[in-house]
């Protein structure tokens, strides 16, 4: 600059020169720092083509496995439903079989057409020294009537309200007759379910049980009924000593 001493002009020039160098150094430092920061960051993961193919194949395999498992689950649900239905059918069949066995065992009351048989000692004049039970109805008389009815196809029977089953007994106990260990007294009323015509004809046949007992002085009456009721057996059916033999068991 004109008018300034030379040393003054040189000092100002040096200052400008130093400032320019400082600015350039700052910019260079900033650029270097940014470059180092970019370099220090990890590069984005780049999947090679072969790896991408493997991943796609693995995805398809997992999708197929998932579809297979879904189908298997549906199959198991169908089997469970079928098993549940089969259980219900088996339960119903079992209940039916139980009811059938209970009916055959006499454990349920029954009703149906049949006959009613009334047996009573006919009143007779008592003579001195005559045994009053000589012409009375005996246990074997009742047993004969019962057997005739069973043989004629009776399906259920009772004597004075006592249901007859496979374990029933009809026997004399002193001067009384016991049925199922219960005392019964005359008149003895036997009700039997079956074909009324067949049952009556069997008892009333010539030379049959009715004719025989009447000859002995017994009052014997058979009536056909459109409906008679036979009560259920009220005793116990448990076996204390008898046990079924298991298949394959050795003697």
Query: What tens digit of pLDDT does each residue of 100-112 get?
Result: 888 888 899 999 9
Selection from 228, 166, 162, 216 nearest residue 191 by Cα: 228
On the 0-12 / 13-18 / 19+ scale of CB atoms within 10 A, 210 is buried
Q: How far apart are CA 115 and CA 199, in angstroms?
A: 7
Q: Which of the four pLDDT bands, split at 50, 70 and 90, describes residue 6?
A: very low
Can you give the pTM of this predicted structure? 0.62
Q: How far apart are CA 13 and CA 83, in angstroms?
A: 104
E strands, the chain, are 110-121, 156-159, 162-163, 170-173, 176-179, 182-184, 188-193, 218-230
Instruction: Give the phi and the psi of residue 183 in degrees, each rounded to 5.
Output: -75, 130
| Residues 64-93: tens digit of each pLDDT | 888 888 888 888 888 888 877 777 787 788
Higher local confidence (pLDDT), 54 or 214 = 214
On the 0-12 / 13-18 / 19+ scale of CB atoms within 10 A, 144 is middle
| Residues 137-192: tens digit of each pLDDT | 899 999 999 999 999 999 999 999 999 998 899 999 888 899 999 999 999 999 99
| Residues 172-185: tens digit of each pLDDT | 988 889 999 999 99
């Amino acid at each position: 600059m004109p008018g300034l001493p030379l040393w003054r002009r040189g000092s100002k020039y040096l200052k400008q020169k130093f400032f320019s160098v400082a600015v350039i150094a700052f910019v260079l430092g900033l650029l270097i720092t940014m470059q180092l920061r970019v370099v220090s960051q990890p590069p984005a993961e780049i999947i090679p083509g072969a790896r991408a193919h493997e991943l796609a194949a693995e995805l398809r395999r997992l999708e197929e496995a998932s579809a297979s498992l879904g189908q298997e689950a549906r199959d198991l649900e169908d089997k469970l439903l079928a098993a549940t239905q089969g259980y219900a059918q088996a339960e119903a069949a079992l209940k039916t079989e139980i009811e059938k066995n209970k009916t055959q065992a006499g454990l349920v009351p029954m009703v149906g057409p049949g006959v009613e048989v009334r047996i009573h000692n006919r009143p007779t004049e008592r003579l001195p020294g005559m045994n009053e039970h000589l012409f009375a109805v005996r246990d074997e008389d009742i047993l004969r009537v019962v057997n005739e009815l069973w043989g004629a196809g009776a399906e259920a029977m009772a004597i004075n309200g006592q249901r007859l089953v496979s374990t029933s007994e009809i026997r004399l106990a002193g001067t009384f007759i016991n049925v199922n260990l219960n005392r019964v007294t005359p008149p003895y009323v036997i009700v039997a379910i079956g074909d009324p015509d067949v049952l009556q004809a069997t008892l009333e046949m010539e030379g049959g049980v009715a004719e025989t007992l009447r000859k002995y002085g017994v009052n014997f009456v058979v009536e056909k009924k459109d409906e008679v009721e036979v009560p259920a057996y009220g005793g116990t059916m448990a076996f204390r000593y008898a046990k079924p033999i298991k298949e394959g068991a050795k003697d």
